[in-house]
């Protein structure tokens, strides 16, 4: 019962941490957007504008390489998703709690939102008939495996970030306990709850491990999650057909504009 209560308390803490990060980022986005809105475009851009522009180009290039300019609704979501996951993964460096992504409910919920985008885009651009037909490709006997894929992709995507962040947290926890035991063995440090009151040895030796597991792995997992969201969302789209429709609409628009101009001249 004690283990269950601790687990429930841990899940609650991670959920509240996640919601706090969402609120914090919302406030930051509003402040940054307000500052950028009042910048003078004729002056040399400052550090804030350079950072925002670099990030915008980074996400836009990823989106363009996958969607060729179609489905622009996913672009702001992809940017928000990367920043949110990166902040969650790095939160263990600054907060006395485990990162929110070590609670499987949070990666799973983000995956469900990402795959909602995927299916909405497929239904909207391919049509219901083509959408359903895709599950019988290349032959109809593949239908059971294609249906299993609906569960397998979100599950593997959510488990990837959850497993990597959780394993890094556990390794760092074991390392801290090991250095605490070693410090107590060598220096006979004062004890608090079975460990040293101040684990100086861990503070000195753990920096490279924190850099690798928190900064490097956290950044990589946020990038991979965002990249897979864009890949899976664009995978089943017929981009050539969408390009042809877009080109036909543009030609029709130009033709109508020329007809309007010619009618004005005659009048």
Domain extent listing, the chain:
2-239
CA distances from 153 to 27, 34, 146 (A): 33, 38, 11
Q: What percent of the chain has pLDDT over 70?
A: 84
Nearest to 222 by CA among 115, 119, 90: 90
State the residue for tokens 């249906």. Answer: 147
Helix (H, G, I), strand (E, B) or coil at 196: strand
| Residue 222 near residue 89, CB atoms below 8 Å | yes
* Percent of the chain that is helix, strand, coil (3-state, to 5): 85, 0, 15
- Per residue in 207-235, pLDDT tens? 777 777 778 888 999 999 999 999 988 88
Terminal Cα-to-Cα distance of the chain (whole angstroms): 86
pTM (2 decimals)?
0.81
Nearest to 14 by CA among 223, 162, 176, 219: 162
Nearest-angstrom CA–CA distance, 27 and 32: 9
- CA within 13 Å, CB half, 188: 0
Max CA-CA distance within the chain? 99
What average pLDDT score do residues 179-191 get?
A: 63
Q: Specify the pLDDT at position 7.
A: 47
| Residue 162: DSSP 8-state | H
What average pLDDT score do residues 80-102 get?
A: 87
Query: Which of 49-53, 195-199, 220-224, 253-257 is most confident?
Result: 220-224
CA distances from 233 to 2, 75, 148, 230 (A): 43, 11, 17, 5
Q: Does the bond joining 212 to the residue before it have cis omega, within 30 degrees of 0?
A: no
| Mean pLDDT rounded to a whole number for the chain | 81
């Amino acid at each position: 019962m004690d283990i269950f209560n601790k687990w429930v308390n841990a899940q609650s803490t991670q959920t509240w941490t996640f919601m706090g990060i969402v609120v914090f980022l919302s406030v930051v986005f509003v402040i940054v957007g307000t500052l950028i809105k009042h910048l003078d475009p004729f002056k040399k851009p400052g550090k804030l504008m350079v950072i925002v522009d670099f990030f915008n180009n980074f996400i836009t290039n990823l989106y363009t390489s996958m969607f060729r300019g179609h489905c622009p609704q996913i672009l702001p979501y992809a940017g928000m998703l990367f920043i949110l996951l990166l902040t969650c993964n790095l939160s263990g460096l600054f907060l006395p709690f485990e990162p929110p992504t070590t609670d499987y409910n949070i990666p799973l919920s983000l995956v469900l939102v990402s795959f909602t985008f995927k299916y909405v885009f497929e239904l909207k651009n391919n049509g219901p008939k083509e959408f359903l037909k895709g599950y019988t490709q290349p032959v109809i006997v593949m239908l059971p495996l294609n249906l299993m894929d609906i569960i397998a992709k979100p599950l593997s995507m959510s488990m990837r970030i959850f497993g990597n962040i959780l394993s890094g947290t556990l390794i760092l926890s074991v390392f801290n306990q090991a250095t605490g035991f070693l410090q107590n063995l060598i220096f006979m440090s004062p004890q608090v709850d079975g460990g040293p009151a101040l684990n100086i040895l861990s503070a000195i030796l753990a920096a490279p491990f924190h850099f690798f597991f928190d900064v490097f792995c956290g950044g990589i997992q946020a990038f991979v999650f965002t990249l897979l969201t864009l890949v899976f969302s664009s995978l089943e789209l017929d981009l050539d057909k969408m390009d042809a429709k877009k080109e036909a609409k543009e030609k029709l628009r130009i033709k109508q504009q020329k007809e309007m101009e010619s009618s004005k001249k005659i009048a």
